[in-house]
Chain A
């Protein structure tokens, strides 16, 4: 049943990509793509319903054997038969991921019908979107790291294709390349980690890895190395320090792409992968700490950059990096279910924010600069309302989804005793509330700063865009209730549902502490929101400008994204170029020298051969000719051409012959 989920987007991608691109009307293209996404969602819901009823928490469906069994000697010296299949694994974790991917994906497909309505490459866009959905589903359904890697690379490819969708624009094309190449660095880590596990355990099957780790077949150091290599892959895909630089540039893609790939689904692949292999990470311990610290630092670091961005989509991009950092905090303190919970709620409210931002951009004829917005609240009220819902959810205001998931993560971090991680997470959350409301106040409140022409054409987006937005807004509110903690009378149903896949974290925390922690984080968020209101509404951004002028160096450093792009450019790209130049020199001097030397030697030898040819061989040939010439010069005298001479010769000859005959006989 669940094997059908990725089938529909594949069909949609193939049909639209091969047939639709030439022969379909826009309506047919849209129907194919949305139909594929819808059927896939229906299959995901059906599979989910089946899982809830089923007795067995894990179902595996093998399509065919991919790599047949071969005996390998593992690191411990024992023989193991390494084989893996093209197999799908469906459990509660996969259920949550497929529901999020297909559900949010379906809404974004519908939204794209309106958003991309005027684009020339309509069919190409939808083919890529379906292709992405397919790859993402393969990634979350893969029963072993091999199948996961297919999806892992597939989403990287479709991400590249969609970032560079408007490839005639130079910045879009290079942003696509940047995303792809940065991801390749992470992918290498993923591949090496997979290889190390295959070498150490003789299996790359999810079940097999968990069994091997729990059975003590893995040394702790090897586990840490494998986990860290895999986590390097996660930092690439999920845009964490140090491989996050591609995500803000990825905003060059169309906004639905940013919402689907670079907010809701693909960038959470790293979170999913760590949760999927939680046994390995938990066993290593060190790797888990690295995950938590990376997440915590990224959460704050990216949030600071979000505060100063002026491009509406880039603010949200840094927000995404920061939020994924928060998810990694959850994973890193062992609260895997909380991380996945935040992944789900984030998928709702972040895609909502992105799509609402798309609606703003659409209304303003393509304007993305916050400095040229303002006062949109009354002009596009429906967009404003859903944007506000998303902002409240991401800020962690009680009652909305983000509050439950983020507080569960922060409470887990506090409970784990790693107070640095908790403090960073809290700071990240406060900054998130601040920049999100800065965005709202700049875009929707205050004076209208766009020009008159844009204002005249300004109107609310079409229904195809608004309806998905309102559904997502509903989800952003309600999405937290499946995970309602016991404290509020909920049963933490979400965590218990995920328990077979991610284990049950021990939360040693009293109800009083939990309430206190919630109060702290809500107070921080509220303070941030009121602060943003005071700065950007009451004082019209004056304090922010004064602060930037006073601390110009600091402001510039943050605004230029801590010069990390420049640093990577200098050190890594420059280093590779330098290496290339050295290789070039080696080529020119040594290799070319050898080649040229060989050529010179050949030339010299052939010159000798020429001399031999001309002297000896030609001499012999010409000599023979010359001998014949001189001999014939003598003989030609006999040929007088006069008949009587010949006649005389005949007679003389006859006489001689007869005489000889007479004499001899």
Chain B
């Protein structure tokens, strides 16, 4: 039986790596990949706590998150691709149309 603490630590680590990836990196593709890490960190916590409570609900919810992540990735990468076609660049800094 894997102790719940280990699972929590793993989830938080994954989340932290994803968060840093999103905040620090300027490459859109990497940022999207980091987003996946964020979601998966959360998934691990869901599954881990589900197991711990002996309920399938955590796993079921994780499945929903995975499905959502897939669609999010599909849409996200489509946007990135469209952006790349226009600018020939993955740089997130250039995407500042909303700058006040």
Interface residues of A (CB under 8 A from B): 635-644, 647-648, 651
Contact = CB atoms under 8 A, between A and B. Distances in A.
A406 B30 CA distance: 139
A648 B22 CA distance: 9
A636 B100 contact: yes
Contacts of A644: 22-24, 26, 31, 92
B93 A642 contact: yes
19 contacts: A635-B100, A636-B100, A638-B100, A639-B98, A640-B100, A641-B97, A641-B98, A641-B99, A641-B100, A642-B96, A642-B99, A643-B22, A643-B92, A644-B24, A644-B31, A644-B92, A647-B19, A647-B22, A651-B19
B9 interface: no
Given A641-B99, A642-B96, A644-B23, 7 more contacts: A640-B96, A641-B95, A641-B98, A643-B92, A643-B95, A644-B22, A644-B92
Chain A binding surface SS class: helix
B99 A639 contact: yes
A639 B99 CA distance: 5
B14 to A, nearest CB: 15
A37 to B, nearest CB: 101
A381 to B, nearest CB: 119
Nearest to B99: A641
Contacts of A651: 19, 23
Contacts of A638: 100
B5 to A, nearest CB: 20
A18 to B, nearest CB: 83
A275 to B, nearest CB: 108
Contacts of A640: 96, 99-100
Contacts of A642: 92-93, 95-96, 99
B95 A639 contact: no
Interface residues of B, number: 14
Interface string B1-35: 00000000000000000010011101000010000
Interface string B69-100: 00000000000000000000000110111111
Contacts of A637: 100
Contacts of B93: 642
Contacts of B23: 644, 647-648, 651
Closest 4 CB pairs of A and B: A639-B100, A641-B96, A641-B99, A636-B100
Nearest to B96: A641
Contacts of B100: 635-641
Contacts of B24: 644
A635 B100 CA distance: 8
A196 to B, nearest CB: 95
A582 B100 CA distance: 76
A289 B93 CA distance: 123
B28 to A, nearest CB: 9
Contacts of B95: 641-643
A643 B31 contact: yes
Nearest to B28: A643
A647 B35 CA distance: 11
Nearest to B19: A651
Nearest to B93: A642
Contacts of A648: 23
Contacts of B19: 647, 651
A95 B3 CA distance: 146
Nearest to A646: B98
Contacts of A639: 98-100
A647 B34 CA distance: 12
Nearest to B26: A644
A638 B98 CA distance: 11
A325 B100 CA distance: 108
A651 B24 CA distance: 13
A292 B19 CA distance: 133
Nearest to A637: B100
B21 to A, nearest CB: 10
Which one of B31, B93, B95, B100 has the highest number of Cβ atoms from chain A below 10 Å of its Cβ? Answer: B100
A635 B98 CA distance: 13
A638 B31 CA distance: 22
A637 B100 CA distance: 7
B100 to A, nearest CB: 3
A641 B96 CA distance: 4
A63 to B, nearest CB: 94
A108 B97 CA distance: 104
A637 B99 CA distance: 8
A641 B19 CA distance: 18
Contacts of B92: 642-644
B68 to A, nearest CB: 18
A230 B31 CA distance: 117
A642 to B, nearest CB: 6
Contacts of B31: 643-644
A661 B5 CA distance: 23
A294 B26 CA distance: 125
A11 B90 CA distance: 104
B20 to A, nearest CB: 10
Interface in B38-82: none
